[in-house]
Structure 1
């Protein structure tokens, strides 16, 4: 299991000082491990011997690899929350540019109009989004749109949270307008949205790029793009599978060197990983002609340049209780059970409650 059970095992093995040589971690979880000494620092000089330096990564992602100026994680990929679309429906809806790619939208109104145009083109739903009972989906959608407003979502230790409630209400209001239960369904679960899209009952789906292998098995003429910018600032919600060195009390120097060599070699071979939909974090792979030929992967590669992760706090990140607690009021708003204003107030309360809890591994 990739979520809480995995991260509990990783923390326990590191706390015991006898962990594996290398482990995988979502970069958004680093703030819960580095401060407590559960992961060891990388030797950047040693990595450079094997041809990997900080200049090989997009600054938006590399900036999250550090704690107090020391690098504790090396990104393998960037995996953003994006849009997949039916090219035929999008063309009929007038949403493609001259090169056949999804054209920029630029405003909330344009996104709403895109949903209406896609619904008319398909004769069914416009934009599909599965969120009911899901512990991450509505947070991914909210967090990306909120980052586009330029507002900060800061969770300082001890609280209170610093959240622009006006910007948050704007975002939740747009979410409820977009998924109105008419043009675009508001009550789908994850599997329901996937099934509807793969069976041609919608023109666009908001999903993580990790669903690409499943979607390519469908009969859709599949296109993909970074999540559309509709507010003032380009931003795409994302995370990153990264390599870490779980803490060892007495690491063997030869094995630690081999761990660095292993990480470097896998990064250089990450074109294979890209076939599953993930954007290679190692920039030289992105520059290869073989990556440019990947369709539709290369269409959303620019998402890595404007990547936005969860706030760097010990309780946040992929598979966390924080995401679950943010999703509950957001889901309630989409289902029409509460107002955007009340949903945002509950999100602030939930964040404040978590901030008052001590970090168990600090």
Structure 2
């Protein structure tokens, strides 16, 4: 019996020691280091860049805060996020695309950041106004912007010079003129228009440039099925079938391959392509704002935002530690910009170090138009993807493609709202 009591006593002591260590590591309850779990979808080379920032943060805050990172493909990220938050097993910090925030806020899967951001000294004047405002849903802030990643024009400097041009196009007509000249004087295409992704980002850009709208403010009604929308999409189609400055039926990523190989003068894609093109041997390229397809300068832009997942038992100390990390990354986001992003914070955006990143800086000189902050944006806008693809394949007219997409989008949004 005496031996049993000793064993029970030892077991109890071990349990208490383990609990104390666990509490110290996870929550810092004993004044120890707080370990925070950080989820993101940066599975590409950008993961290395965010990793460098995290390592620097951990070193500077050793003994106080430590960030553990869990990275997964974006295709799996949101489903897993919803599951762990619902089960009360949420990470402390996460990255979320700007156009997803409203949907997760609507279902109470995010922590409001109004007071936390204010207490940490993060406010409107620190960030690009449009991206800061886009993180608000129903009068509450849920996101702190890390970056802006806009659609960008990439162009082959050598091909343009051979065709007699030293500056990139600023309008659709100039894009067409230069593309025709390139094809006349070289063996390359003017531009390779994608049939698939990111074709709907190009359509969004053209739509905004023509003064159109994507969806209603509440997100329930598609508005792209309009005269502006038809003209915006028609101009994309015309580059292929009317003006013939782009090959037809470009396979997935085929437009990227043609540009890499120097076989097209212009390429429309996200700023995130910079690093890959810089690694391409023999490719002399530059970046510029996307030419205005209509009367207005406007470009599609997305943004990665920091969010704090809703917790089963919220801990103010952990929230404070998380906000310290977010502020640190925001203030040290030049490393992140090098990965092919536009910093969201003015102090970094206006620094000489960022301006020295020529490709990123030129891409930043655009009128960013972010998707509206509504939970149903993805439902209403989503059908434009296949609709634009079918128009680019000459299978449907822009009018018919957008009409079908709008009907499907409205039905999707109403179902989601219910």
CA contact (8 A) 1:176 1:333 kept: yes
CA contact (8 A) 1:122 1:201 kept: no
C-alpha offsets along residues 200-224 of structure 1, whole Å, 9 cap, x if unaligned?
Answer: 1111111111111111111211100
2:295 match: 232
* Match for residue 273 of structure 2 among 201, 204, 211: 211
Q: Given the superposition, is the C-alpha separation of residues 222 and 163 from structure 1 closer, same or farther in structure 2, using an over 3 Å criterion?
A: closer
Instruction: Say which structure is richer in helix.
Output: 2
2:247 match: 185
CA contact (8 A) 1:79 1:209 kept: yes
Map 1:282-321 onto structure 2 (within 5 A). 282-303=345-366, 306-317=367-378
Distance 1:9 1:141 in 2: 30
* Secondary structure in 1 matching 2:108: coil
- State how many pairs are aligned: 345
Distance 1:285 1:190 in 2: 35
Q: Which runs of 5+ in 2 are unaligned?
A: 1-71
* Match for residue 84 of structure 1 among 143, 146, 154: 154
Q: TM-score, normalised by structure 1?
A: 0.88
Q: Given the superposition, is the C-alpha separation of residues 158 and 270 from structure 1 closer, same or farther in structure 2, using an over 3 Å criterion?
A: closer
Distance 1:37 1:78 in 2: 25
2:92 match: 21
1:66 match: 136
Map 1:52-201 onto structure 2 (within 5 A). 52-97=122-167, 102-105=168-171, 108-131=172-195, 134=196, 136-155=197-216, 159-163=220-224, 165-180=226-241, 182-201=244-263
Q: TM-score, normalised by structure 2?
A: 0.77
1:42 match: 113
Distance 2:390 2:114 in 1: 46
Distance 1:251 1:193 in 2: 48
Q: Given the superposition, is the C-alpha separation of residues 164 and 326 from structure 1 closer, same or farther in structure 2, using an over 3 Å criterion?
A: closer
2:327 match: 264
C-alpha offsets along residues 115-171 of structure 1, whole Å, 9 cap, x if unaligned?
Answer: 21233344221112333xx3x422101111101112222246584433451111101
Higher relative contact order, structure no. (Cα contacts within 8 Å, ≥ 6 residues apart):
1
Q: Given the superposition, is the C-alpha separation of residues 117 and 71 from structure 1 closer, same or farther in structure 2, using an over 3 Å criterion?
A: same
Distance 1:119 1:209 in 2: 26
Over the aligned positions, Cα root-mean-square deviation in angstroms equals 2.1
